[in-house]
């Protein structure tokens, strides 16, 4: 599929992750990950958007990935497996595969260019919950894993305010004029076998974050 045959599309929502890096994750600052290697769970809660005439609002997408070195510095390529919401119908699966696989252009196409080892796609029951005040969020993938995150705080922080970053130099959801990264610490409990062959994602008290996303394609 070329971008000439891709319909106009938009996608808005919330992105969260838990990764093996220390908090704050160096990758968001366009630096090499902690210990020069990162294993991560990405989750996208889609609140609005469509692909041509196909609505995508209300669906979830996830990814499990691993890389070594600075992913933004051209030092490495990423291994990644994609998780699609099992509630998606055939048209929605086609749309999400096109967008997140990079064929539909926009920011996801730029991120997909970093993937050197694509492990495939699985349809799974997936739930993403995010507190309105960003004090916590969670991701549940049945028979695979569950992730829990709590907003970062400390002895000198106001517990009613979030620890946030503006204008992140290595934002995982791409550049955005008013994008705000909210920091947290997270845990992942893996309930089944390793994912996509050899991805083991169980981790405790590691970096987690929330970033809103607002994408469009094929040319934006």
CATH code for position 35? 2.40.400
Q: Does residue 21 fall inside a structural domain?
A: yes
Span 59-70, pLDDT tens digits: 999 999 999 999
Query: For 31-54, what is the mean pLDDT?
Result: 97
Residue 3 above 70 pLDDT? no
Q: Does residue 218 fall inside a structural domain?
A: no
Query: For 1-24, what is the mean pLDDT?
Result: 90
Q: Does residue 220 fall inside a structural domain?
A: no
Query: For 156-184, what is the mean pLDDT?
Result: 94
Q: What is the pLDDT of residue 75?
A: 76
Residue 2 above 70 pLDDT? no
Q: What is the pLDDT of residue 177?
A: 82
Report residue 77's pLDDT band, with 50, 70 and 90 as the boundaries.
confident
Q: Does residue 217 fall inside a structural domain?
A: no
Q: Does residue 24 fall inside a structural domain?
A: yes
pTM of the full predicted structure?
Answer: 0.96
Span 90-102, pLDDT tens digits: 999 999 999 999 9
Q: Which domain holds residue 118?
A: 3-211
Q: What is the mean pLDDT of the chain?
A: 95
Using only the alpha carbons of the chain, give its radius of gyration: 16
Q: Does residue 45 fall inside a structural domain?
A: yes
Q: What is the pLDDT of residue 169?
A: 95
Number of structural domains (the chain) is 1
Concatenated DSSP letters for 52-120? TTEE-TT-EEEEEEEEES-GGGTS--EEEEEEEETT--HHHHHHHHHHHTTTT-HHHHHHHTTEEEEEE
Q: Does residue 216 fall inside a structural domain?
A: no
Span 131-143, pLDDT tens digits: 999 999 999 999 8
Q: Does residue 156 fall inside a structural domain?
A: yes
Residue 178 above 70 pLDDT? yes
How many Å apart are CA 146 and CA 128, to the nearest integer? Answer: 10
Residue 1 above 60 pLDDT? no
């Amino acid at each position: 599929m070329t971008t000439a045959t891709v319909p106009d599309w938009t996608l808005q929502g919330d992105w969260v992750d838990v990764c093996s890096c220390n908090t704050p994750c160096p990758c968001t600052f366009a630096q090499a990950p902690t210990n020069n290697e990162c294993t991560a769970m990405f989750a996208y809660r889609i609140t609005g958007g469509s692909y041509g005439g196909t609505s995508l609002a209300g669906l979830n997408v996830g990814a499990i990935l691993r890389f070594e070195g600075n992913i933004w510095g051209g030092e490495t390529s990423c291994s990644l497996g994609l998780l699609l919401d099992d509630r998606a119908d055939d048209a929605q699966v086609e749309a999400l595969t096109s967008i997140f696989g990079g064929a539909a252009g926009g920011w996801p196409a730029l991120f997909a260019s970093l993937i050197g080892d694509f492990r495939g796609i699985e349809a799974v029951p997936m739930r993403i919950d995010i507190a309105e005040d960003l004090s916590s969020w969670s991701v549940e993938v049945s028979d695979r894993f569950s992730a829990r995150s709590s907003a970062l705080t400390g002895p000198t922080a106001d517990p009613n305010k979030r620890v946030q970053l503006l204008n992140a130099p290595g934002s995982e959801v791409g550049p955005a004029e008013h994008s705000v990264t909210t920091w947290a610490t997270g845990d992942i409990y893996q309930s089944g076998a390793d994912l996509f062959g050899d991805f083991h994602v169980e981790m405790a008290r590691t970096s987690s974050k929330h970033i809103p996303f607002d994408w469009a394609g094929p040319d934006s």
